Structure 1
């Protein structure tokens, strides 16, 4: 049986032929973000890559409460509701390895990682990032490249078998160890040094040898990308912007590796011109997550300000206050990331670029408050003057009859404007004749 190239391989091949092609990976589980991403992908004619991390989704549920099979059904059902073509939707797994079990001995952690990878591959996650770069409880302080590669190959063997047993096409793989920690960097200063070409070459060669020694020749041909550090990152209050000159040697290295591109993590908050430059320079898979939920949070806060003007105080959702109360009651996702006084931490909980509040949108009190906010606003006509004050970009689209004033439409549009930058960077041919802000009709975004 001949297996055709996957959609991801097709994009990578197009990029390597010199076409203005890339992939943007939306790493998020929030339904408003995912629905906005589908609308953007439809508008720009791009493949939509949705990824779950090992923190979000695992065999025990992760912080979303979803297993890989449940997450897959969740996204595919949403695509049906949005009339988004499933052949243009690919699911991926990010940082898949022993990450969640670093506190255990390596043998136990890797057994859990085996189960994790099998669950992802069997559920239909087609793009697998093999990440065994983290040390476990009984590991030496620094893992060798050979140990990392050997563990990655072990997981690739599991993924190959699980996909085959499920009757699914074999996965494509991403390798690489120079990655930000899942969930974001704690210290920007330590994170942003550009990977040296020598380090990239060694990672590639060690993994190549490990794959071939294990008889995974066909799987090695499906390694489409390697994660490196191109010199971009962010923390709670600062952004490290892309500098093409600093990354030139690294870009030249991958240009000499047929069929391979680089995957860049933590591209959130980069200028759109930088996103175009990164794709041009073969950092052709751009990961975005916190910036999308940051836009979500900004939109929600703006809607709360409008609600306060229109709704009696006793009937208001208090969404942002509820969100902060839940974060204070459950500090595990933000406390070690946000230093300073209680006042400084309060500011970071709400406005930090690392957007640690993204872990709490699924908590029951927050979900209920958001539902109240939407119900309150959808039961009223939002005055244009309030839209102009609190959501000025969306106001302009409403004024032109291009956007509905329902709460969900306004939030998705704000998120969509952020994601559209990535779509334009990854499909520059479409950028000339497609403008998300101008072509998103009221009917299509409700």
Structure 2
């Protein structure tokens, strides 16, 4: 296997030749397959695929997958597509007590330890230690020392698991300046980057606590810190990256030459903004909802096209099925969306937060997507309908009669911006 690209991010920045790596944060099989196909075509790329604590854990998470099952799921697709497993890195995102924060801290941290161990045993080699959230009876935001003490405890569990499995010791990400997994639930009007002083303290406190706990070598494998660079998306808007606002954060990296930043919530940023993030010390670009948002656009565009041209298909049956599925099980969206019934309907289907992504694995949704596939398989879609309902994609995709190609093109179009940004803005 080629050198782990994560290991060279900080030195590349110091040497004036920064590069980035895209972190694919999704469990949707079409998204995973698209990313794998792009890696196969690239031949040089290392693919980074991540799972969050809510998405995948020892109890199955909302995907129903444990870490071991998630790795097997990805590797099965990789095997079918011809991508060697050695070219895939697995990362664990926000690993900590978040899924159990309604429980007392002692119980939540016990479960978090078990989860981190399960991730490492399954082959995850990039671990984001995030114990920033308060548990039952605690403040919502914890102090730096408590966060670092809990992070060190989780790091010990990860180290023990790696040694027991005779696998390479993980690299780590520390810090958090982002919403809890799942994103913000409101329109964002004012967003400020993390202050350099706060980032400096996060690093210093973690370094001190890790040393106190006998984890100096472990801290030496901390490669990045999560901060807020000034990018975010809410339900209805996106805050674009403004490089000048995070200049002090970028400068801090000169004091910490072995570190870079990890940028969360980069979804919906322009190629130019993503390129600037990489150049300015934020080379790990995490994207998830933006990919499934693009896929949902393709699903719904083809749903409209099939409604127009396929006899017996009906009037937008996929969209109607998704509405029924989301109303029947509102747990993934009801606390995130607000407003009138009309507002809620639009947000359920078209929000940048993309809470609909939690429902694509529902059996009724799977059946509706399968019906859409079958309805358009081999059907030549006129370029005029492609222009009408899928205007961001090449109209020449339609006449091929291959809906799968359209699904993958929608996701691939987003990933192309990330690939370009990670290479300095060029295709």
- What range describes the TM-score normalised by the shorter chain of this pair? over 0.9
Change (3 A) 1:395 1:426: closer
Is the 2:378–2:402 contact (alpha carbons within 8 Å) kept by the matching residues of 1?
Answer: no
Is the 2:187–2:234 contact (alpha carbons within 8 Å) kept by the matching residues of 1?
Answer: yes
Is the 2:313–2:375 contact (alpha carbons within 8 Å) kept by the matching residues of 1?
Answer: no
Is the 1:130–1:155 contact (alpha carbons within 8 Å) kept by the matching residues of 2?
Answer: yes
**1:340 corresponds to which residue?**
339
Verify: 1:354 aligned to 2:338, yes or no.
no
Is the 1:27–1:288 contact (alpha carbons within 8 Å) kept by the matching residues of 2?
Answer: yes
CA distance in 2 between partners of 1:232 and 1:127 (Å): 23
Q: Kindly state the Cα deviation for residue 256 of structure 1 after the two structures are TM-superposed.
A: 2.5
**2:92 corresponds to which residue?**
93
Is the 2:379–2:401 contact (alpha carbons within 8 Å) kept by the matching residues of 1?
Answer: no
**2:279 corresponds to which residue?**
280
Verify: 1:116 aligned to 2:115, yes or no.
yes
CA distance in 2 between partners of 1:122 and 1:320 (Å): 40
Q: Kindly state the Cα deviation for residue 56 of structure 1 after the two structures are TM-superposed.
A: 0.5
TM-score (ref. length: structure 1): 0.91
From 20, 33, 36, the counterpart of 2:18: 20
**1:439 corresponds to which residue?**
none
**1:419 corresponds to which residue?**
415
Is the 1:172–1:222 contact (alpha carbons within 8 Å) kept by the matching residues of 2?
Answer: yes
Q: Kindly state the Cα deviation for residue 150 of structure 1 after the two structures are TM-superposed.
A: 0.4
Q: Kindly state the Cα deviation for residue 5 of structure 1 after the two structures are TM-superposed.
A: 6.3
CA distance in 2 between partners of 1:316 and 1:86 (Å): 42
**2:306 corresponds to which residue?**
307
Measured against aligned partners, the alpha-carbon deviations of 1:366-424 in whole angstroms (never above 9, x if no partner) come to 0011011101111433333322332344434538xxx9541111111111011110111
CA distance in 1 between partners of 2:133 and 2:189 (Å): 16
Change (3 A) 1:398 1:189: closer
**1:154-233 to 2 correspondence within 5 Å?**
154-189=153-188, 192-233=191-232
TM-score (ref. length: structure 2): 0.95
Cα RMSD (Å) of the superposition? 2.0
CA distance in 1 between partners of 2:52 and 2:139 (Å): 25
**1:31 corresponds to which residue?**
29
CA distance in 1 between partners of 2:208 and 2:92 (Å): 23
Q: Kindly state the Cα deviation for residue 319 of structure 1 after the two structures are TM-superposed.
A: 1.0
Q: Kindly state the Cα deviation for residue 43 of structure 1 after the two structures are TM-superposed.
A: 4.3
Change (3 A) 1:173 1:5: farther
Change (3 A) 1:234 1:141: closer
SS of aligned partner of 1:46: coil
Measured against aligned partners, the alpha-carbon deviations of 1:276-318 in whole angstroms (never above 9, x if no partner) come to 1010000111111111010000000111011112222456771
Is the 2:9–2:283 contact (alpha carbons within 8 Å) kept by the matching residues of 1?
Answer: no
CA distance in 2 between partners of 1:94 and 1:227 (Å): 11
CA distance in 1 between partners of 2:395 and 2:312 (Å): 28
Q: Kindly state the Cα deviation for residue 46 of structure 1 after the two structures are TM-superposed.
A: 3.0
CA distance in 2 between partners of 1:188 and 1:46 (Å): 36
Out of 373-382 and 218-227, give the one that drifted further.
Answer: 373-382
Q: Kindly state the Cα deviation for residue 87 of structure 1 after the two structures are TM-superposed.
A: 2.5
In structure 1, the gaps of 5 or more residues are 435-446
SS of aligned partner of 1:128: strand
**2:256 corresponds to which residue?**
257
SS of aligned partner of 2:99: helix
SS of aligned partner of 1:25: strand
Q: Kindly state the Cα deviation for residue 11 of structure 1 after the two structures are TM-superposed.
A: 4.0
Say how many residue pairs are matched: 426
SS of aligned partner of 1:156: helix
In structure 2, the gaps of 5 or more residues are none
CA distance in 1 between partners of 2:11 and 2:3 (Å): 10
CA distance in 2 between partners of 1:258 and 1:12 (Å): 7
CA distance in 2 between partners of 1:318 and 1:40 (Å): 31
CA distance in 1 between partners of 2:387 and 2:304 (Å): 12
CA distance in 2 between partners of 1:170 and 1:404 (Å): 47
Q: Kindly state the Cα deviation for residue 79 of structure 1 after the two structures are TM-superposed.
A: 1.0
Is the 1:317–1:373 contact (alpha carbons within 8 Å) kept by the matching residues of 2?
Answer: no
Q: Kindly state the Cα deviation for residue 259 of structure 1 after the two structures are TM-superposed.
A: 1.6
